[in-house]
Amino acid sequence: MASAFSSRSGNIPVAFNPSANHSPVPALSSLPRASPAQDRLIVGVDFGTTYSGVAAVYSASPEEIDIVKSWPGGNGITSDKVPTEIAYITPSDPSKSNVKWGFQFKPEETRLRCIKLFLDRNHKLPHFVSPLDTAAQLRKYEKTVAEAVSDYLAQIYKHTMETLTRRYGETFMSMTKVQFVLTVPAVWSDSAKDATLKAAEKAGMGSGKDLKLISEPEAAAVYTLKAIQPNNLKLGDNFIVCDAGGGTVDLIAYKITQLNPLRVEESAVGTGGLCGSAFLNYRFEDHVKSRIGIERYTMMREKKAKTWNMGLKYFEEFVKRNFNEDEHAEVNVPFPGLPDDEEAGLDSGFLVMSAEQVKEIFDPVVSEVISLVEGQVHTIRAKGGLVCGIVLVGGFGQSNYLYGRMKQHFNSAPPPPYTERPTHAVALSTVPSVEIFHPIHAWTAVVRGAVLRGLEGSMVVSRRSRWHYGTSYATVFDEAKHPIEDRYWSPLWERWMVSDRMQWHIAKGAQVSESKPISFHYTRNFRPGQSLVVEDDLIACDADTAPDSFRKGLINVCALTTDLNTVPKSLFTRLTTTKGVEFDNLDFTLDMRIESAGLVFELMVDGVRYGGVSAKFH
């Protein structure tokens, strides 16, 4: 198994010599010598739908971001990322691993693919992901989705630690703290983020402060905006980051609020869609079907799997990745063994495809990406914002064709309508063109941003809430507002009450900042001897307007358990009902902070913190 790193500054040898069974020896000057207690290794892990990536940085040499490029089964060929694929096997030697992953598969072997998408069932699956097939495989392996994800991450962890140990040496590794930062999609529910965190903990990536989550487009933005800085950025500018991956395309928008150090705020709620690069492969499949006919196609898939796999691999690795509108060359996709057929365009085992035909495969998918970006541009402009740039990242983001089409669309504003005497109105009506940025490290921008986040903390001062967040409460019955059948008698308050009213603490789209928590106020009564451990459900709502009472369709985010035993008894108020029943009342708040990829809660009474609140996600 080979392990090599590549470094951005390029002073670490990356060549892999397959005949040597020791690791490449890094130049001595590039190896950190001592490891003072505060220095750390930060490892970013981008667990993607189709591909995953790992980057690392040593805090004492923050300029050098290393990308793991050698993978088990990779046959010495380096790759910025490794397929997110896993299967369980019965090894002939029982001491060997029962897991196969990444590059270790032959094309025709069965394995779990796109397993990440099953962590959040609130989203639609792309047509090519079969829940039935995934469920059948999991049943056969006797695994749950969470276990398969955690087993995959455990392989990533093991390989990363081995690679780092080769790179830095065992002594260094035993003295140095390793902190992981894991990326998750921005659109994920809080419970899916929590499930990812748990899977990573189980995989050995640490816990508590040593394991952080960051949203994928935010990580990409951190890296690319820093790379653009400082010449091209101005205060107040808005940038849209478009992370075009395998399955999904995720968008996020930021406004620059400070230049040095760079600080940004999220300027529109992120959006996304199912129009990633894998859709091109399925459109290619349809193309082949229509060219050679369904019968020959089915025969090939069923009887000559190797022939089909070869053609698909060529499309995936060569045709798709090199396609560019300016080069009108034909491509010859190998389908070894398919007999010549002039009409179908089959010649000597190759299917000839014209540039126009490849373009037809790309165009509908590219148009979807453009219209998603267009939507985000409109949202920002509608609020009076100035959109200065679109940053294209992710695997599909690397595509020169996508880049060219985006440039054409956003960059070539039509000339103002002709008038004999130009007026101010005409000058003002021209839409300013938007620059498209295409960073060199588009595919690894997410994972590079993740390590920067671990290294430097967050540059994002505020985000937009993706949901309304609230809690339900009971209040005094008001016949003008509440249905009479909902009321009940409270012996402590000695009034008619109603429960399940919703109080929304944060509105969808509202600005939230990590440093300014949102407070949920509560007042609670306790009879003598009653438990001081209280439970509340945090509720979210995806609709644009949130309802005023609890109803179907609201999302039960998590149960918050607060232990009020930590609050001094003197802060409770002793009250007595008219019937002489004594009870204690406490006013308290739960402070919630929305971090890049998770929710954090704290119990406060009179502005003093009395411990954490545990959140159990549903």
Point out which span in 154-162, 246-254, 326-334, 474-482 binds ligand ATP (CB under 6 A).
Answer: 246-254
Give a three-class secondary structure readout of 144-173: CHHHHHHHHHHHHHHHHHHHHHHHHCHHHH
118, 191 Cβ separation under 8 angstroms: no
Are β-strands 460-464 and 263-273 bridged in parallel, bridged antiparallel, or unpaired? parallel
Task: Determine the interface stretch with Mg ion among 48-56, 352-360, 525-533, 581-589 (rule: CB under 5 A).
Answer: 48-56
Q: Give the residues across from 541 on adjacent strands.
A: 468
Q: Judge contact between 80 and 444, C-beta under 8 A.
A: yes
From the list 44, 217, 245, 454, which residue makes contact with Mg ion (rule: CB under 5 A)?
A: 245
Out of 24, 44, 102, 246, which residue is the one contacting ligand ATP (CB under 6 A)? Answer: 246
Nearer to Mg ion, 126 or 245 (CB): 245
489-496, long-range: CB within 8 Å, 24+ apart, which pairs?
A: 491/577, 491/579, 491/581, 492/525, 492/527, 492/577, 492/581, 492/583, 493/525, 494/577, 494/578
Contact with Mg ion (CB under 5 A): which of 24, 26, 44, 48? 48
Asked if residue 217 binds ligand ATP (CB under 6 A), the reply is: no
Min dist. Cβ of residue 185 to ligand ATP (A): 7
What is the nearest approach in angstroms of Mg ion to the Cβ of residue 419? Answer: 47
> Per CB under 6 A, does 395 bind ligand ATP?
yes
Cβ–Cβ < 8 Å for 87, 112: yes
Going by C-alpha positions, the residue among 506, 443, 466 that lies closest to residue 271 is: 466
Binder of residue 277, out of Mg ion, ligand ATP, none (CB less than 5 to 8 A by kind): ligand ATP
Q: For residues 276 and 447, what is the distance between their CA atoms, to the nearest angstrom?
A: 18
Chain centre distance of CA 265: 18
538 belongs to the binding site for ligand ATP (CB under 6 A): no
> Does 444 participate in binding ligand ATP (rule CB under 6 A)?
no
H helical segments located in 185-304 = 190-202, 216-228, 278-292, 294-303
Asked whether position 247 contacts ligand ATP by CB under 6 A, the answer is yes
What is the closest distance, in whole angstroms, from the C-beta atom of residue 327 to Mg ion in the complex?
27
- With contacts defined by CB under 5 A, name the span among 3-11, 60-68, 228-236, 245-253 that binds Mg ion: 245-253
- Under rule CB under 5 A, residue 449 binds Mg ion: no
Residue 137 touches which member of Mg ion, ligand ATP, none, C-beta under 5-8 Å by kind: none
Query: Minimum Å distance from CB 462 to ligand ATP?
Result: 24
**CB closer to ligand ATP out of 319 and 502:** 319
By CB under 6 A, the residues from 319 to 348 that bind ligand ATP are 320-321
Q: Which stretch binds ligand ATP (CB under 6 A): 130-138, 142-150, 165-173, 313-321?
A: 313-321
* Contact status, residue 194 vs residue 182, Cβ threshold 8 Å: no
Q: Whose CA is closest to 177, among 460, 454, 395?
A: 454
Report the chain's terminal Cα–Cα distance, integer Å: 40
Q: Name the minimum Å distance from CB 320 to ligand ATP.
A: 5
**272 near Mg ion (CB under 5 A):** no
Residue 441 and residue 445: Cα distance in Å, rounded? 6
H-helix segments, 480-585: none
> Could you give the CA distance from residue 280 to residue 590 in angstroms, rounded to a whole number?
47
Applying CB under 6 A, among 44, 48, 454, 517 the residue interacting with ligand ATP is 48
Among 223, 216, 210, smallest CA distance to 193 is for 216
Give the interface size with Mg ion as a residue count (CB under 5 A).
2
Q: Does 272 bind ligand ATP (CB under 6 A)?
A: no
* CA-based nearest residue to 336, from 309, 363, 356: 309
Q: How far is the CB of 248 from ligand ATP (least distance, A)?
A: 4
Decide which of ligand ATP, Mg ion, none touches 395; Cβ closer than 5 to 8 Å per partner kind: ligand ATP
Residue 245 CB, shortest distance to ligand ATP, in Å, is 2
Q: How far is the CB of 516 from Mg ion (least distance, A)?
A: 30
**Rounded Cα gap, residues 268 and 373, in angstroms:** 12
Residue 101 Cβ vs ligand ATP, minimum distance, rounded to whole Å:
14
Non-local (6+) Cβ contacts of 299 within 8 A are none
Q: Which stretch binds Mg ion (CB under 5 A): 194-202, 241-249, 274-282, 563-571?
A: 241-249
**How far apart are alpha carbons 453 and 196 in whole angstroms?**
18
Choosing from 3, 7, 35, 49, the residue that interacts with ligand ATP (CB under 6 A) is: 49
> Closest approach of Cβ 445 to Mg ion, in Å?
9
Partner touching 81 among Mg ion, ligand ATP, none, CB below 5 to 8 Å by kind: ligand ATP
Instruction: Please list the alpha-helical segments (H only) found in 229-277.
Output: none
Q: Pick from 163, 277, 376, 458 the residue near ligand ATP by CB under 6 A.
A: 277
Q: Note the Cα 405 to chain centre separation in Å.
A: 25
Q: Which residues pair with 614 in a beta bridge?
A: 561
Q: Which does 50 bind (CB under 5 to 8 A by kind): Mg ion, ligand ATP, none?
A: ligand ATP
Contacting positions for ligand ATP (CB under 6 A): 48-51, 81, 245-248, 276-278, 316, 320-321, 394-396, 398-399
Binding site for Mg ion (CB under 5 A): 48, 245
